Amino acid sequence: MRKLIGLTFLALGVIAGIVLLLAPFGKSPLAAGPLMWFTFPIGCVIGHVSLMVGADRAQMGLHSTIVGGTLLLLGLIATVAQFLVSGGLVAAAEDTFSLWYVASGGFVLGGVAYALRGTGKDSAAQG
């Protein structure tokens, strides 16, 4: 049950990040309201922590690699999008503050999650 809750929160956080990433271009399927701004970091953190609790070293490594890689990728896409907007190659329909938010949140949270991939209890030593 804990893993299902963790995956649900993680999915909500990543979806909120994608919505915030698409919002400045008017391409978002959902409104980028206050809940999206709250759900992006909090959903990702709660989801990742829920997946990590009680996991062995291999599972922790896999979860941290996937979560960290996903968030780092979101941060990279937001950075490239901001670069394209500020360079005049792409026009934004709205303010681009959400791109900065996704970039900073993606790099910070993704970096921490990716760094945790080597932690955890060793399942061989538990025996």
Residue pair 86/97 in contact by the 8 Å Cβ criterion: no
Mean pLDDT of 50-62: 87
Distance CA 59, CA 62 (A): 5
Per-residue model confidence (pLDDT) at position 120: 57
Per-residue model confidence (pLDDT) at position 127: 44
Enclosing H/E stretch for 53: none
pLDDT, greater one: 44 or 58: 44
Whether the predicted pLDDT of 9 surpasses 90: yes
Mean pLDDT of 9-29: 93
Indicate the domain borders of the chain: 2-117
pLDDT, greater one: 23 or 94: 23
